Structure 1
Amino acid sequence: MKDRLCDLQQSAKKEMSLSALVERLGEEWPDTSERTNLLNKASSSKVNTFLTHVDELVNDMNGMETLLDKIKDWHWKIIVEPGDHPEMNVQLDDAVASYTTMLYKTQAALKSLNAGVEVQFGKPTDESAQTVEARIRRNQVMTLTKRLQGLLIAFNDEQLTYKDKCKRKIQSYMKISDNAVSEEDLEAIIEKGTLFEHTKVLMLAERDKKALYDEVKTRHEDIVKLEGSIKELHGLFVELATLIQSQVQ
């Protein structure tokens, strides 16, 4: 039986769903026993369930890419527009929480699919069609896992970038208040939770200085939330890396 794995990989790059891919292969292959074998497999309830899960995961990851773009837009607006943004901050927090939830949900689904593929690989069989089907499944799960890892890395990079911009914003406002600190000192101040001891000078009656204080306070809160999120993402990244390593083996 001719190995069509390369054809599948090329078609997958064109964002064709796996279910559509099976239908296409059925049309392209000659009417021989090998086509009949594969189509019989593809029509089984287990295969259809697998294809449905794959398509759902692809849609979820497409949604995550869109959500990440929105998060980047909110980060940009918050940084370039001075002052506190309560409504925007709530939307940003909700988006980050949704993205994180989707990361965990998708990872759990991929682990389940991968476990099923490994069980199929472990079954002795002399049927070449079933062997190819197992390879297709494993390749598809590995591709999805690597894509999820890419989404995780992109999200983490954006969080780190935003954290750095928040720190620079705080430094800028503290410099305006004649209370400048170095980056190293700012790290220590944030870690110890004593930032507001250094910003009391901003708490004056003038509206502009009150706005500066609010800005520093909000950016500090953002940094604290970001540090918690980054630590949480590290654990998820390790799990995904382990899953990818097991697939390679």
Structure 2
Amino acid sequence: ADDVEIAIENTGFMDEFFSEIEETRQNIEKIAENVEGAKKLYSIILSAPIPEQKTKDDLEQLTAEIKKIANSVRNKLKSMERSIEQDEVQSSADLRIRKSQHSVLSRKFVDVMTKYNEAQVDFRERSKGRIQRQLEITGKNTTDEELEEMLESGNPSIFTSGIMDSQISKQALSEIEGRHKDIVQLESSIKELHDMFVDIAMLVENQGGVLDNIELNMMHTVDHVEKARDETKKALVYKKKAHKVSPQAPICAQPPPCWERTNGSQRYYDFHGSKPPEYFFEHLGQ
């Protein structure tokens, strides 16, 4: 067992820091709850030929709330990062605690935003599949590339202009136009959140090996952090027991499916797949 001495310095500042950490943690949990809510609404919208407007309004409101809270979390994490960088010359217990807390929250934020992005992309693909099936009902067979062309153009009439004037075709046309509108709105949200994700993913990536053991360190320090807040300006010495833990896989912040410009048009590209994360970071801003 090792004796670890934690000197409690600048208690007022650390109290404020812990309050910010707790607020940020709660905001990340709120995002996670909203993501689950959005996934349920995605399923409802996909299961109905003509989704109710209230369901779409609820989804729009939830999407706006996720964006608002995510922006707040992103700004808070970056503010913490700047503060930590300014105090980098110090080697105090306070600084180590701040780094640990910040790193864990950054990781959790990336994880929850990745899940949200995956849910959005899944909704887009399934909506596109519904459009393709409705086109088939009207006698229009389209390839995946042709559907992407329609979505990028923002003009569904490319494939709907010649649809026969029958009751079945009218219903199919209505669904096609509705799904197309849903996808256009979704893509705007995906692009906005992708920019935010890149910002935080780069932050996590730059932390390097610090993240590999960060959660283990947090298990040992979190209880002592609470005691430190009560033991104002005192040194707290405690016994840290050695635990044998299976090695964790290295943490690497891979971006979610995102946008790649090709000949002036925007396309989805899955960087989880055939391209390594290094490709993604090398091509930022192009």
TM-score, normalised by the number of residues in structure 1: 0.77
Q: Which residue of the partner structure matches residue 74 of structure 2?
A: 107
Deviation larger for 159-168 or 112-121: 112-121
Q: Which residue of 2 aligns with 1:70?
A: 37
Aligned match for 1:217, one of 158, 165, 177? 177
Which of 83, 86, 94 in structure 1 is aligned with 2:53? 86
Which structure has the larger Rg over C-alpha atoms?
Answer: 1
1:233 aligns with 2:193: yes
Are the equivalent residues in 1 in contact too, given 2:44–2:51 (CA < 8 A)?
A: no
Instruction: Work out the CA distance in 2 between the residues paired with 1:193 and 1:65.
Output: 31
1:55-88 deviations in whole A, cap 9, x for unaligned?
0011111111110000000000111111142111
Q: Quick check: 212-221 or 137-146, which moved more? A: 212-221
Q: CA deviation at 1:142?
A: 0.6
Is 1:145 the equivalent of 2:106? yes
Q: CA deviation at 1:193?
A: 2.8
- Spell out, residue by residue over 1:194-229, the C-alpha distance to the aligned partner (whole angstroms, 9 max, x if none): 3224224557362x4333222111110111122222
Aligned partners of 1:189 and 1:195 also within 8 Å? yes
User: Residue 138 of structure 2 contacts residue 164 of structure 2 at CA under 8 Å; is this kept in 1?
Assistant: no
Q: Which of 115, 119, 128 is matched with 1:158 structurally?
A: 119
Q: Is the 8 A contact 1:190 1:220 kept in 2?
A: yes
Mapped to 1, the partners of 2:87 and 2:36 lie a distance apart of 38
Structure 2 unaligned blocks of 5 or more: 211-286
1:1-249 equivalences under 5 Å are 2-3=3-4, 34=5, 37-38=7-8, 41=9, 44-123=11-90, 131-202=92-163, 204=165, 206=167, 208-248=168-208
Secondary structure at 1:2 match in 2: strand
TM-score (norm 2): 0.67
Unaligned runs of 5+ in 1: 4-33, 126-130
2:82 & 2:99 partners in 1: Cα distance?
A: 10
Greater relative contact order (Cα 8 A, min sep 6): structure 1 or 2? 2
Q: Which runs of 4+ in 1 moved over 6 A?
A: none
Structure with greater helix share of residues:
1
The percentage of counterpart residues that share the same residue type is 24
Structure 1 contact 149–240 (Cα < 8 Å) conserved = yes
C-alpha distance in 1, partners of 2:59/2:3? 50
User: Match for 1:54: what amino acid?
Assistant: I
The letter of the residue matching 1:221 is K
How far, CA to CA, are the matches of 1:241 and 1:79 in structure 2?
A: 31
Instruction: Check conservation: 1:72, 1:158, Cα contact below 8 A.
Output: yes
- For 1:102 and 1:202, the matched residues in 2 are separated by 43
Cα gap change, 1:202/1:90 in structure 2, threshold over 3 Å: closer, same or farther? farther
TM-superposition CA deviations, 1:146-199 (whole Å, max 9, x none): 111111111111111000001000000110111121111111122123322422
CA distance in 2, matches of 1:75, 1:171: 18
